[in-house]
Amino acid sequence: MLEFPQKVYYARDIPHSVQDLMNSMDAHYRRSIMAKDMFEAVIVENTFEDEPNAPHISIVNDVDGDQEEVTPAWEFHYSNHIWHSDDVPPPDLVNLRGCDCKGHCDPKSQTCSCLKRQHEYSDDIPGFIYDEKGRLKRRGYPIFECNDLCGCLDDCRNRVVQRGRQYTVNIRKTTNKGWGIFAGRQKIPKGSFIGIYAGELLSERETEERGKVYNKVGRTYLFELDFYYLRKSAGDDTDDEEWQAKYVMDAYHAGNFTRFLNHSCDPNCAPNACYVNEGNIEKPTVALFTRRDVLPWEELCFSYSGYESDEEPENNLEDVRANNGDAVYAKCLCGAKRCTGFMFN
Ligand SMILES: C[S@@+](CC[C@H](N)C(=O)[O-])C[C@H]1O[C@@H](n2cnc3c(N)ncnc32)[C@H](O)[C@@H]1O
């Protein structure tokens, strides 16, 4: 577990020497097996402290690896950290509360303050939001994990996201959507934690210009922290249409494997807001969980349009088409039976 005072990572310090070195090599080297080994080694090197037990991530291109790229572009720093932009406040430890439990927190406790905090948002779910196997009982609610101020043990049931990735995932080239993320040989049960959407935490204002560029080139890694309960806590007088998330995660310059998760209109994963060592409700960590059992070797995807219900999605193709001609609004190639035709709608 992290020791306080917690280290804060700033976007201005995102390392780039490895990317610079690799990009200075000739194309022959960047297409060699050595470059693939290097990419995998960088992942281990940059994550072994925060995820010492996470299974190995392989880079696989069996689509066009001979002629094209053996790795994704060396354009980002691989990391599980949240890199704060200068106008984003560091984690709020003043408003962070820890429980006084000893040993393991009891899901029937009347005194555990973390359980009470959780029930402010999910009072219809008895006990913690995780079951005894650490799986999410229900999606959509913010998760309040035990934190470094708590008296409970590191393996308390209410600590899942902070323990890091437990399942194998591989970064694999797809035939039509660029790189994607695939399960390993093991099935991943419904409700399992996959990874956090790491990256640069930006203010909404700062995101505007980046968004325009990403939309034009047709590849975006922005994730707005616009969870529904944040709208509610902003007060009743805030018009829903006018409400804007304060912060956005950008995984373009720094991020982990989750930046390669492609969109699906019938996704097997979904993002969930989670808090560990953060007392600021507006700065949740985006944690990805499976929303159904994932078969061995299956591609992991989530919905970029935020659609998560089990009902049929609305098809608003015409609106999206009329909206603008940016490359990012290209046709969706998820292949799901109920594909709406577009990634962002
Ligand atoms: C966050 S990136 C995902 C990783 C990306 N495939 C890569 O190679 O870096 C988002 C971009 O992936 C592509 N993409 C993701 N899902 C897609 C889908 N269902 N259909 C077509 N392209 C998709 C689009 O170019 C999109 O802007």
DSSP letters for 50-115? T-TTPPP--EE--SSTTTS-SSS-S-SEE-SSEEE-TTSPPP--SS-------SSPPTT-SS-HHH
Nearest CA to ligand 1 atom 23: 177
Q: Which atom of ligand 1 is nearest to the CA of 73?
A: 9
Torsion of CA 104, 150, 291, 200, to 10 degrees: -150
Please report which helix (H) or strand (E) contains residue 250, including its range: strand 247-250
Average pLDDT over residues 308-324: 53
Query: Which span out of 281-285, 315-319, 322-326 was modeled with the highest average pLDDT?
Result: 281-285
| Pairing mode of beta strands 285-290, 269-275 | antiparallel
Average pLDDT over residues 149-154: 97
pLDDT digits (tens, 9 = 90+) for 170-200: 999 999 999 999 999 999 999 999 999 999 9
For the entire predicted model, the pTM comes to 0.93
pLDDT digits (tens, 9 = 90+) for 35-92: 999 999 999 999 999 999 999 999 999 998 677 789 999 999 999 999 999 999 999 9
More confident residue, 295 or 311: 295
The answer to whether the CB of 159 is under 6 A from ligand 1 is no
For the chain, state the CA radius of gyration: 20
One-letter amino acid of 292: R
Distant-in-sequence, close-in-space partners of 198: CB < 8 Å, separation ≥ 6: 79, 80, 81, 82, 249, 251, 254, 255, 256, 258, 259
One-letter amino acid of 183: A
Mean pLDDT of the chain: 91
Residue 341: how many CA atoms within 13 Å on its side-chain side? 8
Q: pLDDT at position 239, please? A: 62
Q: Quick one: residue 243, left, alpha or beta (phi over 0 = left, psi -120 to 50 = alpha)?
A: beta
The answer to whether the CB of 345 is under 6 A from ligand 1 is no
Ligand 1 centroid to Cα of residue 198, in Å, is 17
pLDDT digits (tens, 9 = 90+) for 101-147: 999 999 999 999 999 999 999 999 999 999 999 999 999 999 999 99
One-letter amino acid of 145: E
Q: Which atom of ligand 1 is nearest to the CA of 221?
A: 1
Ligand 1 centroid to Cα of residue 177, in Å, is 5
Q: Which atom of ligand 1 is nearest to the CA of 265?
A: 19
Distant-in-sequence, close-in-space partners of 132: CB < 8 Å, separation ≥ 6: 157
Q: pLDDT at position 319, please? A: 55
Ligand 1 centroid to Cα of residue 149, in Å, is 39
pLDDT digits (tens, 9 = 90+) for 1-18: 445 667 999 999 999 999
Q: Which atom of ligand 1 is nearest to the CA of 263?
A: 16
Ligand 1 centroid to Cα of residue 176, in Å, is 9
Nearest CA to ligand 1 atom 22: 177
Residue 216, SS3? Answer: helix
Nearest to 57 by CA among 137, 176, 149, 165: 165
Inter-residue contact 130 to 158 (CB < 8 Å): yes
Inter-residue contact 340 to 332 (CB < 8 Å): yes
How far is residue 128 CA from its own chain's centroid?
A: 22
Average pLDDT over residues 293-304: 97
**In order of start, what are the domains of the chain with their CATH numbers?**
9-91+161-305 (2.170.270.10)
State the Cα–Cα distance between residues 38 and 281, nearest whole angstrom.
38
Nearest to 326 by CA among 211, 175, 208, 207: 211
The residue assigned the tokens 């010492």 is 52
Inter-residue contact 279 to 97 (CB < 8 Å): yes
State the Cα–Cα distance between residues 118 and 184, nearest whole angstrom.
32
Nearest to 267 by CA among 340, 326, 318: 340
